[in-house]
A = this chain, B = another copy of it.
């Protein structure tokens, strides 16, 4: 990747101590004897044989860096403080770098007894850490999680750019509520005076700002389809909203979804190949670039000795089941399931996870009953009771991706359209220069939760929002 920065991003302090971020302090880049400045937060202090050993972290990576302070200097500091230290690089007996401190400024104190929620050498359950969102970035597992999230975001964007996809910022505010009518959030200005000034006859007062009811998006798919009918390969990657009263560990009121749409694509097989290739390539990239953060966060499952073992699925093809075949497997194993298996009702979470276990990894379920899927999915050419749709089920979270070839018949679509007034424009796409498009949506927090083996998706998003919870 070509470097875009034209200037050095190093910060300088006075007296010619070069500022380094900890991740850049490697023996290759920084020889013993170099005068160095570091800034960060104190993670631990040990008092030994005339020296203070102070570990600091500056957020640049999971690794801490050791400061050695000769007690004769009369310098003191404590856990949680922010510090700015100058000194000379040396190597430890284990051949790691450390800083022999000449001067240290305590930038900010950290008075634990006045309410700081994280004590040294203690580990806390995720629910506790989640109750202190504003200080969570100081917790190493949270900081690592957010760096992994950043690398995964990058990897998806890079993969799609290289595949020729254009990122479209589909809107958060929408007057289409087609899919999530029951689960949409409604939006209006807080300022009633503003609304009064904008009121019109024939428009309900609460809708005066936009002249119509306006919602938070539940999916950018239909907007993407419009863009795909001219730009061909497009995707969107942003916040999506559902108003559900749900306490599950795989639901959020605000979550990130990666949605993709591709024109001139009319085969379900091609679409599932795209999904499989993307997941494998992106995951490989995150494993390579975030190895240290990943191994800090990822709890090994009972079967694993090291992180890579959790990613054996990268090297195996994902099996494809038809919905019929998946149902056959579930019915043959009904004795091992708590929930009844019913062909007309789809596959619940327990059953999804059973299928994944049965297939020993990610599995596509293809060709679903039309009656339980969305209006925009294409009727299957061989069996009009089915649609050309798939779900990808993965360990830990169940459904990760859902997609379909889109209905391209104007007439069939017109019959199935749920809200004709609002979606007239969607029919136009099948009238003027129509092409078959296909696409999918992937739940980003579910992906991270699976990858990191983190139990609750609330812990892989910086500011989780769910029923009764919207702190900060």
Contacts and interface: CB of A to CB of B under 8 A. Distances in A.
A190 B198 contact: no
Interface string A179-212: 0011111111111001001100000000001111
A254 B189 CA distance: 13
Interface string A242-260: 0111000000011010000
B146 A154 contact: no
A465 interface: yes
Interface range on chain A: under 10, 10 to 19, 20 to 34, or 35 or more?
Answer: 35 or more
Nearest to A118: B432
B215 A173 contact: no
Contacts of A81: 433
A371 interface: no
Contacts of A174: 463, 470, 472
Contact of A245 (B23, B154, B197, B215): B197
Interface stretch (A275-283, A294-302, A372-380, A411-419): A275-283
A58 to B, nearest CB: 6
Contacts of A75: none
Interface string A49-76: 0000000001110000000000000000
13 contacts: A23-B164, A41-B230, A41-B433, A108-B435, A109-B434, A135-B428, A147-B231, A150-B167, A153-B167, A176-B472, A186-B187, A209-B245, A238-B239
Contact of A7 (B109, B177, B253, B277): B277
A425 B134 contact: yes
Interface stretch (A155-163, A326-334, A390-398, A451-459): A155-163
Interface of A: 1-7, 9, 11, 21, 23, 39-42, 58-60, 80-82, 84, 107-111, 114-116, 133-139, 142-143, 146-147, 149-150, 153-155, 157-159, 161-164, 166-177, 181-191, 194, 197-198, 209-216, 222-223, 226-233, 238-239, 241, 243-245, 253-254, 256, 263-265, 270, 273, 277, 280-282, 284-285, 425-426, 428-436, 461-463, 465, 467-472
